[in-house]
Amino acid sequence: MRLYRGMVTRLYTHPVYLEHITPSGHPERPDRLRAIERVLDDEAFSALDRVEAPPGDEATILYAHPQGHLAHVRAAIPKSGMTRIDADTVASPKSWQAALTAIGAANAAVDDVFEGRADNVFVASRPPGHHAEKTTAMGFCLFNNAAIAARHAQKKHGAERVAIVDWDVHHGNGTQDIFWDDASVLYCSTHQMPLYPGTGAKDETGAGNIVNAPLSPNTGSDLFREAFSSRVLPALDAFAPDLVIVSAGFDAHHRDPLAEINLEEDDFDWATGKLMERAARHANGRLVSLLEGGYDLHGLAFSVAAHVGRLMKG
């Protein structure tokens, strides 16, 4: 039995995240969070600082989206049953509260690392966020949690430079869209290409603040680590962020049904350690990790365990 201890690592989650309902057979389902809860129930994680996610502040949605998008999503929330916002993005009666509470947790995590309540934070929330563009909910995402949290760090805590590192197997088109011409936020992504949503080529560089590292199908640990080491980590060192936000999707795991990248749990442990080194070097250790994708329950749960275990060990 290895007890993880060393850093103060906070975990936010909330029962309402289970009430964002998707149709039977939809990969982005409440059981994902149940699988994460089960694996983090192990005694090895007893030192986690578990806190119920606070309600989000609706006004912070406007940090990354115009009022019209907020109104569009709110109008799509059904009184009963489900509505489709796009081909694979669904809303149920509690989706508004779930989405707002996901934003609440992301912003609270930023407050925690700036105000010294935690060294780092993992947010286990649904719905995810990185596909949500300024004006478009898509790819299971309603609002862009990571983008809102980055702006929150700038507005409330005076962060000058925020880095978002996205290792979800899909490109975070939404985050790229929101920060396309904003050099105060660095967006780095490793993702399979070709794959949904189709963006994320190397030559998409925004204001010099977008670093895409596309990976071919069947990429394994070695090439992933090579791409991360040669593109993502040097960009972080050059940028010297005040805060590192991780768009932590675990669908690059070899068991995942939505993609063909073959990572192991150990790769998420490794990548987490590398980001913690950079956070320690530039950002006083401040690191906030937000759950994005990951659709094989076993692959997701054990990858999250590796990630959170590393956050706790330091």
Question: Which residues are tagged catalytic?
Answer: 131
- By CB under 5 A, is residue 256 in contact with Zn ion? no
Half-sphere exposure of residue 57, counting CA atoms within 13 Å on the CB side?
Answer: 9
Nearer to Zn ion, 97 or 190 (CB): 190
251 lies in the site for Zn ion, by CB under 5 A: yes
Q: Which of 200, 206, 293, 309 binds Zn ion (CB under 5 A)?
A: 293
Q: Which is nearer to Zn ion, 214 or 249 (CB)?
A: 249
Q: Does 278 bind Zn ion (CB under 5 A)?
A: no
Instruction: Based on the shown chain and the rule CB under 5 A, indicate whether residue 168 belongs to the binding site for Zn ion.
Output: yes
- Using CB under 5 A as the binding criterion, the count of chain residues that bind Zn ion stands at 5
| Range in contact with Zn ion (rule: CB under 5 A) among 153-161, 198-206, 209-217, 287-295 | 287-295
**Residue 170 interacting with Zn ion (CB under 5 A):** yes
Question: In the bound complex, what is the minimum distance in angstroms from residue 104's beta carbon to Zn ion?
Answer: 22
Nearest distance in Å: CB 237, Zn ion: 26
Cβ-closest position to Zn ion:
293
Instruction: Report in angstroms how near the CB of residue 8 gets to Zn ion at its nearest.
Output: 29
Minimum distance from CB of 252 to Zn ion (Å)?
8
User: Applying CB under 5 A, which residues contact Zn ion?
Assistant: 168, 170, 249, 251, 293
